[in-house]
């Protein structure tokens, strides 16, 4: 028995745990669904923060008004009308001739603002369909039933400004016509108009105010995006807006100045280092040229050339884009220069650019972007015999592809080849003249333009390198 009881307790506990987990998953899914429905922009979210309380407040006020004031006033008006009709019917019961009935109808019109007619006896009209908003119909019917206590028929739909009431008497049908304002709080819509109008004014002011507050944030985002892509900061950018936005703009401006100063200092230092090292290498070359053409001298010359090549790669990687500012660049001319420079590899290089009505000109760091494409072409020439350069636009992006017919790169290694000094053979042998920095430099340049580089499989069976940068 004890064992069975323990098993039951464990079963119940496991069911409770599963139920709690399902409840948590359900709440998490609901929260995720609501998060997907909500707008993502600050402007829209701020508007919701302002609009939601106003809508809730108006809803509460309207409900209270409808429930308390409007309903009470309508009920009192309907009650007063029903009392007047009941009084007229009692007086009609005591009338002895047509003259007294005429006097009664005149009194109803002049004193009570009711049009009263005595119709021949008969059946009441068929009941008409009730209106969708039948609060007046229900209130008036309830009050007439309370005070008149005779069969009656009312029409609150037929005439827009009047309400018709027919009461079945012993020897006639008494017809009463009252203005709608006598039975219904018809001026209530003025309150609703004022409420809606004031809300529209408040929302208009809020929208205008928020737009002015959001604009400095958008300008800051545009300036940061332009600076990250190496483009000039948009004209007219300056700290403005709320205090917090001004602080963020000032912090961005100071950060930009520090980064620019750092890049300028590094570029100046690397230029000096590059000049000094090239001077030493040039002396090596001159000294080797004076020593003759023996096999040992040729080997030394080859080592010096390889050293110079690696030095250029190291300096290029350390320099990055060298603080170059983006400027309008004709893409066709740039790629044609890359094609002409690639003749030194002794490989077939083909250029294919999708036809356009006009030349494709976009802001690029020209020398840096040219070096990125050249690095991809030289990498392709190292392993393939045929190279194809393609360029086209896709939406808001420029796409430059470099295909080759070489052995390609395994899928698992494609993310590693962008790491500095990484080689697929994992060796440090420098005989191939490969410093392991070409793809890393190209990726850094693409990143500095706000884009990226991806590797795939070429239609020729080799490697496809794709540079994507925003237009």
* Number of CB atoms found within 10 A of residue 32's CB: 10
**What whole-number distance in Å separates Cα of residue 124 and Cα of residue 297?**
127
Q: What is the mean pLDDT of the chain?
A: 76
Place 248 in a pLDDT band, splitting at 50, 70 and 90. Answer: confident
pLDDT of residue 434: 57
Average pLDDT over residues 341-348: 79
Residue/partner pairs of 83-89 with CB below 8 Å, 24 or more apart: 83/147, 84/108, 84/112, 84/114, 85/114, 85/144, 85/147, 85/148, 85/165, 85/167, 85/176, 86/147, 86/148, 88/112, 88/114, 88/116, 88/174, 88/176, 89/148, 89/150, 89/167, 89/169, 89/174
Structure tokens that stand for 419 in this block: 């790491």
The answer to whether 122 and 173 have CB atoms below 8 angstroms apart is: yes
pLDDT of residue 383: 83
**pLDDT over 70 at 436, yes or no:** no
CATH annotation of 324-470: 3.30.565.10
Place 431 in a pLDDT band, splitting at 50, 70 and 90. Answer: very low
Give CA separation, 426 vs 3, 230, 317, 408, 422, in Å.
63, 35, 20, 16, 7
pLDDT: which is higher, 8 or 168: 168
Question: Which residue in 416, 462, 460 sits closest to 439, CA to CA?
Answer: 416
Instruction: Give per-residue pLDDT as tens, 279-306.
Output: 777 777 777 777 777 777 777 777 777 6
Q: For the chain, what are the domain ranges?
A: 37-226, 241-319, 324-470
241-319 and 324-470: identical CATH topology = no
Place 235 in a pLDDT band, splitting at 50, 70 and 90. Answer: confident
Question: Which residue in 316, 314, 332 sits closest to 324, CA to CA?
Answer: 316
pLDDT of residue 428: 35
Rg of the chain (C-alpha set): 44
Percent of the chain with pLDDT over 90: 0
pTM of the prediction?
Answer: 0.49
Architecture label for domain 241-319: Orthogonal Bundle (1.10)
Report the Cα 229 to chain-centroid distance in Å: 22
Instruction: Give per-residue pLDDT as tens, 384-425.
Output: 888 888 888 887 888 888 888 888 888 888 878 887 776 665
DSSP state of 229: T
Neighbouring-strand partners of residue 352: 390
């Amino acid at each position: 028995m004890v064992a069975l009881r323990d098993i039951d307790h464990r079963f119940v506990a496991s069911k409770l745990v599963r139920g709690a987990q399902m409840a948590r998953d359900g709440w998490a899914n609901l929260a995720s669904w609501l998060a997907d429905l909500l707008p993502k922009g600050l402007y829209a979210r701020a508007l919701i923060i302002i609009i939601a309380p106003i809508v809730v407040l108006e809803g509460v006020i309207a409900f209270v008004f409808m429930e308390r004031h409007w309903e009470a006033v309508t009920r009192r008006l309907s009650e007063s009308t029903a009392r007047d009709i009941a009084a007229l019917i009692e007086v009609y019961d005591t009338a002895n001739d047509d003259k007294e009935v005429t006097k009664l109808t005149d009194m109803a019109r002049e004193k009570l603002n009711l049009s009263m007619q005595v119709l021949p006896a008969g059946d009441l009209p068929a009941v008409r369909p009730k209106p969708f908003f039948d609060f007046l119909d229900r209130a008036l019917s309830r009050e007439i039933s309370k005070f008149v206590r005779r069969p009656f028929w009312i029409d609150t739909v037929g005439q827009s400004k009047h309400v018709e009431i027919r009461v079945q008497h012993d020897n006639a049908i008494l017809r009463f016509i009252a203005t709608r304002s006598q039975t219904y709080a018809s001026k209530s819509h003025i309150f609703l108009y004022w409420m809606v109008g004031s809300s529209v004014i408040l929302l208009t002011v809020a929208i205008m105010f928020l737009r002015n507050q959001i604009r400095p944030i958008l300008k800051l985002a545009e300036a940061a995006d332009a600076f990250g892509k190496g483009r000039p900061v948009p004209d007219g950018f300056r700290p403005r807006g709320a205090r917090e936005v001004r602080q963020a703009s000032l912090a961005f401006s100071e950060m930009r100045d520090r980064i620019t100063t750092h890049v300028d200092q590094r570029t100046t230092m690397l230029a000096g280092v590059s000049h000094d090292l090239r001077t030493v290498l040039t002396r090596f070359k001159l000294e080797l040229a004076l020593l003759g053409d023996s096999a040992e001298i040729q080997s030394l010359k080859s080592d010096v050339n390889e050293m110079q090549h690696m030095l250029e790669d190291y300096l290029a990687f350390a320099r990055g884009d060298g603080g170059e500012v983006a400027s309008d660049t004709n893409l066709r001319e740039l790629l044609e220069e890359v094609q002409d420079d690639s003749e030194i590899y002794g490989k077939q290089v083909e250029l294919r650019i999708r036809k356009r009505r006009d030349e494709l000109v976009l802001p690029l760091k020209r020398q840096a972007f040219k070096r990125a494409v050249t690095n991809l072409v030289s990498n392709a020439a190292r392993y393939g015999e045929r190279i194809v350069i393609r360029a086209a636009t896709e939406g808001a992006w420029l796409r430059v592809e470099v295909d080759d017919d070489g052995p390609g790169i395994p899928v698992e290694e494609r993310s590693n080849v962008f790491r500095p000094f990484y080689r697929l053979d994992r060796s440090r042998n420098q005989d191939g003249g490969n410093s392991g920095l070409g793809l890393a430099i190209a990726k850094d340049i693409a990143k500095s333009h706000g884009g990226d580089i991806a590797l795939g499989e070429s239609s020729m069976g080799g490697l496809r390198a794709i540079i994507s940068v925003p237009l």
